[in-house]
Amino acid sequence: MSNRGYRFNTETLQYERKENSALRRLGRMVLHVLISAAVGLVLMYVYTSIFDTPRSRRLSRQGDDLQTEIGMLNQQVNSSLRQLEVIEHRDNYVYRVIFESDSIPSTVRRGGVGGAKSYADLEHIEGGEALIQLSENLDRLSWREYIQSKSFDEVIKLANEKEQFLRCMPAIQPVSIHDLARISSPFGYRRDPFTHESKFHAGLDFVARHGAPIHATGDGVVVLTQASGSGYGNQVVVNHGFGYSTRYAHLSKISVSVGESVKRGQVVGTMGSTGRSTGTHLHYEVILKGQPINPIHYFADMTGEMYEEMLQHSEAHPALD
């Protein structure tokens, strides 16, 4: 194609040939390119606005998959919360009742989680509402699991203490059933064998043969051994902890020493009639926080029939101390 053109000369009134400059040609080329590019961009915008591209379809599928996964996670977290609620109920109304511990209030278990500011960054994300719900549920689950974990730590400690308490609490008769002849004086007021006046009797009197073994009624530590010709006579006092102690009096022989640890059933002495006594027997006391209490309530090996028989024997025989 020729780069030449014609122009009309007004002076000569004739058409004359002219030459197109390189700059003019370049300008036209640039203008053509710009127009083509603009048209292409417009067409691309229209295409992408109306039709889904492979990339947009892929991103859309990924977004749908993510929403599905978030929904499934929310369901799993809610299921875990329901299971945890069952454990919390059992903790409050079974374990803590057994160990005589206060239940944990629901306000403590639920606590305070999240808040508007905690999840503000998620509000502007597509699907942010589901993410906020998931985050709140996860925070709630995490807090309640923490509280329950601490509660179980406390329950385990209580269980260990309870186990120790059950070992230490006076729970058997100090005289074997096979050795026991009778119980001569019950706990409470009765006629004193020396003054014949009504006097409070702070323990139980067990009658058996002279020299019969006397057993510690619970684990503990010996805090007193005393040999005396008056009062309690030869006696042993064992501290069982938890506010409990026991006294074994009028012994013929003491078999333990102060500071010695004893186990339930261990022999602490033998039956005798030392001190203020009118016959061979054991005076046995259970003391709780400094106050004497009826030992009969601490005989796990005594049946109701045996208790009735004991009362009948005690009423039929005089007191021995």
Residue 24 lies in a domain: no
Residue 63 lies in a domain: yes
Do 156 and 184 fall into the same domain? no
* CA-wise closest residue to 148 among 195, 98, 81, 203: 81
CB-CB contact of 247 with 223 (8 Å): no
Residue 162 lies in a domain: yes
Tokens of 165: 């308490």
Do 93 and 112 fall into the same domain? yes
Residue 153 lies in a domain: yes
Helix (H, G, I), strand (E, B) or coil at 298: helix
First-to-final CA distance of the chain: 145
The total domain count for the chain is 2
Give the whole-angstrom CA distance, residue 65 versus residue 222. Answer: 73
Give the whole-angstrom CA distance, residue 41 versus residue 282. Answer: 111
Which of 119, 134, 168 is the endpoint of a domain?
Answer: 168
Residue 308 lies in a domain: yes
Do 144 and 62 fall into the same domain? yes
- Give me the pLDDT at residue 62, please: 59
- Give me the pLDDT at residue 2, please: 47
Residue 159 lies in a domain: yes
For residue 227, the enclosing domain spans 177-295+303-316
Distances (CA, A) of 105 to 82, 149, 151, 246, 274: 17, 15, 12, 39, 57
Do 194 and 140 fall into the same domain? no
- Give me the pLDDT at residue 306, please: 61
Which of 119, 138, 168 is the endpoint of a domain?
Answer: 168
Helix (H, G, I), strand (E, B) or coil at 280: coil
Give the whole-angstrom CA distance, residue 187 versus residue 293. Answer: 8
- Give me the pLDDT at residue 286, please: 95
Q: How many helices (H) and strands (E) does the chain have?
A: 6, 14
Do 161 and 218 fall into the same domain? no
- Give me the pLDDT at residue 1, please: 45
- Give me the pLDDT at residue 243, please: 92
Do 189 and 271 fall into the same domain? yes
Give the whole-angstrom CA distance, residue 221 versus residue 213. Answer: 18
| Cα-based angle 228, 316, 308 (whole degrees, multiple of 5) | 100
Which of 130, 148, 168 is the endpoint of a domain?
Answer: 168
Give the whole-angstrom CA distance, residue 186 versus residue 202. Answer: 9
Residue 137 lies in a domain: yes
- Give me the pLDDT at residue 290, please: 93
Local confidence pLDDT in tens for the 321 residues of the chain: 444 566 666 666 666 666 556 666 677 777 777 777 777 776 666 666 665 566 655 655 655 667 777 778 888 888 888 888 888 888 888 888 877 788 898 888 887 665 555 666 656 666 667 777 888 888 888 888 889 989 989 888 888 888 898 899 999 999 998 888 888 777 877 777 676 777 788 899 999 999 999 999 999 999 999 998 888 999 999 999 999 999 999 999 999 999 999 999 999 999 999 988 888 999 999 999 999 998 888 887 665 566 666 666 555 555 555
